[in-house]
Structure 1
Amino acid sequence: MSSNKNKTPEKQLKTIKIWKRIVTTFEVIFGIILIAAMVILFVPNVKAEIIKGMATTPIGQKIISWFGSEAYVHSVFDSNFDNTKLKTNELKYNYSQEYTTFVLFGVDSREGEVEASNSDSILVVNIHNTTGEVKMVSIYRDTMLGIYDADGNLNKYFKVNSAYAAGGPEAAINTLNKNLDLDIQDYVTVNFAGVAEIIDKLGGITVNLTDDELSQLNFHLLGTANAMGKYATPVKKSGKNIKLNGLQATTYCRIRKATFYDPDTGDRVSDDFGRAARQRSVMMKLVEKAKSAGITELQSMVQTVMNDDKAGDRIISTSFTFDEIVNLIPVIFDFKLNGSQGFPSQLTTGTYDGTSYVVARGLSNNVSELHKFLYGEENYQPTDNVVAVENYVAGYTGVTSGSDGYNPIESGKTTSNEETTATVDNTDYDYDDKGQSDFY
C-alpha cells in the first residue's frame, strides 16, 4: 500500500495542487448556485427565463421532474381519464403537429362535487406550437347541441354545458369534437372556488369596473362568500384598474346582468355572453400575473394547488401528464393572445319546451368560421355529422342560417364620444355606462 510518507515531495505537491483545484471548482460551482438562487429569488423575469431554459433541455426537464412530478400526479393529474373513449368525426385535416388544442372547463363548487357539476364555462384554447400564439373561444354554455356520452354515443339534444355533469370530461370532449369537428384530446378543469385562492396567492387582479358591475358584484358577493365559507369585503368603488381579491374576482366572473366592456377593444358584451367574456378576461389576467410573479408568490400558489389532493375537490384537474406540461413551459412563458371570441358567432336565443337556449344560425357556417379563426382554414367544409346536428336543431327550433339573429358583441369604439372616452381613458373615475347596461 502506498501512502503520503512514501511519496516524494514533488508527488505530494502535485496531489495538493489537484485537491486545491477540486476544492476551488466546488467553491466556484457553489458560488454560481448561490448567485443563481439570488437571481431567481429577486429577479422574476430572469427566473422565468431560467425555468423556460431548463424546460428546453433534457437535464433541465429532469431537474424539474425531481421537484414536481410526484406531487403533480397526486394532486392535479387525472389518472382516471380514459382517452381511448374520445371520439372524433372523420376529419380531413389534422392540426395536431402544428397546434396544441385543449379545452378548459370551469366548474362551480357551489353546485356540489366537481365531477357532478355542469361546466360553468367552456373555453377552447388553441396554441400554435411554433409561434406561441394563443387563441381562445368561449363555447356559450346554453348552446343547443347534440350531447354525447363518455363512450361517444349521442344521447339527446340539450345545453352543451350538461355534458360534463352527465359523463365527465370524456363526455364533454366528445360533445365538442362531434358537434364542432374538433380533435380535442386533453382538458383542464378549474374549480372556481380554487381560482379565488390562486388569485389571492398572486396578490389579486385589477379590472375596469362599471357602476352596474359594482352593484352586481357586491349584490352577489355575500352568496359567494357563504358558499365558500369566507368573509366578504365589498368593493368600494367603480373605475379603471380596480383591484379585486380572489373572492371578489370570482364573483365578478359570475356577473350576467351588467354589460362587460372589453378593456382592449372597447366592445360591449351583454347578458351571459358578457359573463363568458369576463371569464376569458380574468383567465388571461391570471396567466399574465403568474408569468410576472415572484418566486414566493409562485411557490405559495403551487402549494395551494398541490395541497388539495382530494379528487372531488381539486382546484385543478387535467389529463396532461407532467412531462407534457413541462414541454409546454416555453410556450406558456412566450405566449401572446392573438384573439378571442365566442361560439356560435352567428346566433339567436329562444325558449323551447320551457328551456332557454342559444341557437346557432346555421351550425355548419359557424363551424366553418370557428376553423378559420382557430386554424386559418379558409372555406372549411364541415363533416356530415355536423350537418346532421344542424338539421335536427333547425327542425326543432325553426332557426336556420337565414333566420334573424344578432351579434352579442357591440363595438364600443363607434359610440358617442363620452362612451369612447370611458373605454380608453386611463384615469380613475366613475365608470358609468349611462344606462347602456341591462342592469338598468
Structure 2
Amino acid sequence: MAKGRQRRDEFEDVSSDSSKQAYRRNQKKKKKTGLKVFLGIFFSLLILIGGVLIYVSTFMLGGLKTTNITRNKEELGISEDTQSEAGITNIALFGVDARGDSETFTGRSDAIMVMSIDTIHNKVKLTSLMRDVRVYIGEECAYDTGYDKLNHAYMYGGPELAIRTINQNFGLDIQDYVTVNFAAMAEIVDAFGGVDIEVTDDEIYELNKNLRNLQGESPESLSGPMVEYTGSAGLAHLDGNQAVAYGRIRAIGNDNARVERQQEVLSALLGKVGSISKLEYPGIVSKLAPLCETSLSVDRIIGCAQIALTGFTIERLSIPGDEEGYDSDYCEGGGWMWTYDVEQAGRHVRRFIYEDDYKE
C-alpha cells in the first residue's frame, strides 16, 4: 500500500508540475498575443497618422512657403518670466504690401496682428498693433536710439526681428509667424466665397475709389475682373477685390480706423471657417497655402487648426488705445509715430490674451 501511495504521490507531483508549466505557457501566449495586438494597433495608428501628414503636407500644404527661424527664446525676445499658458498659442500675423507680386514677403509690414489660439476658452483673439507705434527695435535699427516704427522691424530683419520686437516691447511669447502679401488677399477672400461686412455710404465711395486705383496701378494684384460695389449701406457681401479695397481705406478716420477695417475682414474670414462644410477644408487650404509664408511646421499647423473643428468665438483688441494714453509726435528721423505707455500696453495685451490666468 505504501508503494501504491508513493506511486500516486509521485504521479500527483508530476501532474502538478505539468499544470504549472501549462499555465505559464498560456500566460506567455497571452502576453505575446496582447503585445502583438498592441503593436498592431500602434503601428496602424502610426501608418494612419503618417498617411494624414503625408496627405496634408503633399496635397493640402504642398504650395506653402515655409521658413526656419531661431528657436532660441532669448534671441526671440522671450525672457524667463514671460507669461505663457498651456493651451494658448500666440502667432504673429504680418501683412506686406508688395503690389503685383503675391509671392514676395519682404518690405514693411503694414498690418501687424497677434493671433492667440485659446483652446482653454475656445476663442481666437486678434490683437492689432498699430504699424506706426514707437518701439525699441535694437541695434538693427537705423537710429542710434534703437527706436523706430514697429512696421520697420520687418524691413530691417524680416519676421524674426519683427517677432523679437513685439515680444520684448509687449512681454509676449510669440515663436511663430504667418505672412500674407496684400496682393494675395483678394484670392484668399474669394477662396472663402467672399465676406459680409457692415459698410457706410462714405466707405462705399472710398472702397470703389480704391478699386479703380488698384485697377490702374496694379491690375495683376486683382483676383479676377474688378467689379465696383453698387449696393447700399448696411451689411454688404464683398468679393476679394472689394474686401481688399475696403481694408485699404485711409481717408475715413485715422490709422486705428484702417486697422479696425482690416480686423473686420480677417474676423469675417475666421467666421466663415465655422460655417463652411468640413469637406470643403482641403480644397480651401490647398488654395490658401501658396499665398502664405510661415515658420509653422505641418504638425503645428494641424494642432492649431483643431480649434476650427470644435467651434470658437472671436475677440479683438487694438493697441494703443485709451488705456495706454496714446498721443502722436514726430520722432526719430522726423517720422510721425504713436507714443504711449509701453508697459501699460503690454499689461493690457497680456490681460486680453490670458484673461483670469494673467498674473499682474
The normalised TM-score by structure 1 is 0.63
Give, in angstroms, the shift of residue 302 of structure 1. Answer: 3.0
- 1:170-189 → structure 2 map (5 Å cutoff): 170-189=160-179
CA RMSD after TM alignment: 2.8
**Which runs of 5 or more residues in structure 1 are unaligned?**
1-56, 259-269, 309-314, 382-440
1:293 aligns with 2:276: yes
Which residue matches 1:162?
152
The change in CA–CA distance for 1:202 and 1:378 in structure 2 (over 3 A counts) is: closer
Change over 3 Å in CA distance of 1:83–1:89 after alignment to 2 = closer
Q: Which one has a bigger Cα radius of gyration?
A: 2
Tell whether 2:61 aligns with 1:67.
no
- Aligned position for 1:401: none
Report if aligned partners of 1:149, 1:166 keep a CA contact under 8 Å in 2: no
1:240 — aligned with what? 234
Q: What's the CA shift for 1:137?
A: 0.8
1: CA distance, partners of 2:108 / 2:173? 22
* In structure 1, distance between residues paired with 2:137 and 2:234: 41
Name the structure 2 match of 1:99: 88
Shift of 1:145: 0.4
Which residue identity is paired with 2:257?
A: G
User: Secondary structure, in 3 states, of the residue corresponding to 2:230?
Assistant: coil
- Structure 1 residues 324 and 379: CA distance shift in structure 2, 3 A: closer
User: In the alignment, does 2:337 pair up with 1:351?
Assistant: no
| Structure 2 counterpart of 1:221, from 192, 205, 211 | 211
% identical aligned pairs: 29
Task: Name which of 334, 337, 359 aligns with 2:313.
Answer: 337
Q: Does 1:256 align with 2:247?
A: no
The answer to which of 170-179 and 319-328 deviates more is 319-328
1:325 aligns to what SS in structure 2?
A: helix
Paired with 2:70 and 2:129, the residues of 1 have a C-alpha distance of: 23
Deviation at 1:127, TM superposition (A): 2.2
Partner secondary structure for residue 137 of structure 1: strand
> TM-score of the superposition, structure 2-length normalised?
0.75
Secondary structure of the residue that 1:64 maps to in structure 2?
helix
Give the C-alpha shift of residue 165 in structure 1: 1.4
1:148 & 1:271 partners in 2: Cα distance?
Answer: 28
Deviations 1:107-142 (A, max 9, x none): 112286733221111111122233322222100000
In structure 2, give the amino acid aligned to 1:65.
Answer: L
Q: What's the CA shift for 1:271?
A: 1.4
| CA distance in structure 2 between the partners assigned to 1:284 and 1:192 by the alignment | 16
1:371 matches 2:350 = yes
Counterpart position of 2:108: 118
Deviation at 1:250, TM superposition (A): 0.8
Partner of 1:84 in structure 2? 72
Determine the C-alpha separation between the residues in 2 that align with 1:300 and 1:350: 47
- The structural deviation recorded for 1:298 is 4.1
Structure 1 residue 379, shift from structure 2 partner: 8.6
Name the CA shift for 1:334/1:279 in 2 (closer, same or farther; >3 Å).
farther
What is the CA–CA distance in structure 1 between the aligned matches of 2:308 and 2:145, rounded to whole Å? 37
The alignment of Structure 1 onto Structure 2 pairs a total of residues equal to 304
What is the match of residue 326 of structure 1?
A: 302
Aligned-partner SS, 1:103: strand
Note the C-alpha offset of 1:73: 6.3
What residue identity is the alignment partner of 1:241?
A: L
CA distance in 2, matches of 1:78, 1:185: 14
Cα distance between partner residues in 1 of 2:219 and 2:62 = 24
Residues 1:372 and 1:295: Cα distance change in structure 2 (over 3 Å): closer
CA shift digits 1:50-75 (9 cap, x unpaired): xxxxxxx8676444213121356653
C-alpha deviation, 1:328, in angstroms = 2.2
Question: How far does the alpha carbon of each residue in 1:331-358 deviate from its partner, in whole angstroms, 9 at most, with x for none?
Answer: 1333533521111222112233532111
